[in-house]
């Protein structure tokens, strides 16, 4: 059964292809299971792989990138593995929905975003590259100040913002 309820705010939403879009908030999520199934027999980065990806992006009405973006993915906590992160925050030159798909397909993928990501809550942009480089750690810091645990993009290292370390910009 295909769920049509937003994983973040529980409102109704709809699917464009394999991408769920909430009608009330900015959250989206890919139908991870169907994506996994569709790509399972394709060699990574083969022509077929690329064609299917293009088709999935087009059916999901993912717009072309207009610059650079920062994005926030909600993570499912894995207490068993002592992974209790709330969000993954990253930046990209792709449209964030395409970047999210790439995480699922294992392309420059964060294992956190790939395995534990449940929804892209929101994104910011388009913006200039330099702006996005500053915004990414700043956004992470904002979330940490609200009490959330954030996994940063660089090598999936924790940002250590709560500690006394100055984030490396």
Q: Does 120 help bind Zn ion (rule: CB under 5 A)?
A: no
Q: Does 127 help bind Zn ion (rule: CB under 5 A)?
A: no
Provide, rounded to whole angstroms, the least separation between the CB of residue 120 and Zn ion. 11
CA distances (Å), 137 to each of 84, 90, 114, 115, 166, in order? 19, 9, 20, 22, 11
Q: Does 6 help bind Zn ion (rule: CB under 5 A)?
A: yes
129's tokens? 């590259």
Site string for Zn ion, 22-61 (x = CB under 5 A): x-xx-x----------------------------------
Of 84, 79, 137, 73, nearest to 110 (Cα)?
73
Which of these segments, 16-24, 78-86, 118-126, 159-167, binds Zn ion (CB under 5 A)? Answer: 16-24
Q: Which is closer to Zn ion, CB of 18 or CB of 159?
A: 18
Q: Which is closer to Zn ion, CB of 120 or CB of 159?
A: 120
Are 118 and 74 in contact by the 8 Å Cβ rule? The answer is: yes
Q: Does 15 help bind Zn ion (rule: CB under 5 A)?
A: no
Are 100 and 30 in contact by the 8 Å Cβ rule? The answer is: yes
Helix (H, G, I), strand (E, B) or coil at 164: coil
Task: Give residues in contact with Zn ion (CB under 5 A).
Answer: 6, 8-9, 11, 22, 24-25, 27
């Amino acid at each position: 059964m295909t769920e049509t309820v937003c994983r973040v705010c529980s409102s109704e939403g709809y699917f464009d292809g394999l991408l769920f879009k909430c009608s009330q908030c900015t959250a989206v999520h890919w139908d991870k299971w169907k994506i996994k199934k569709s790509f399972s027999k394709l060699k990574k980065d083969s022509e077929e792989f690329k064609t299917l990806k293009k088709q999935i992006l087009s059916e999901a009405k993912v717009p072309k990138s207009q610059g650079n973006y920062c994005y926030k993915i909600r993570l499912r906590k894995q207490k068993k593995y002592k992974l209790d992160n709330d969000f993954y925050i990253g930046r990209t030159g792709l449209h964030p929905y395409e970047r999210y798909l790439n995480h699922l397909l294992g392309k420059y993928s964060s294992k956190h975003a790939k395995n534990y990501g449940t929804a892209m809550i929101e994104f910011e942009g388009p913006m200039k590259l330099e702006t996005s480089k500053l915004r990414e750690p700043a956004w992470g810091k904002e979330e940490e100040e609200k009490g959330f645990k954030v996994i940063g993009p660089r090598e999936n290292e924790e940002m250590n913002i709560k500690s006394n370390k100055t984030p490396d910009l």
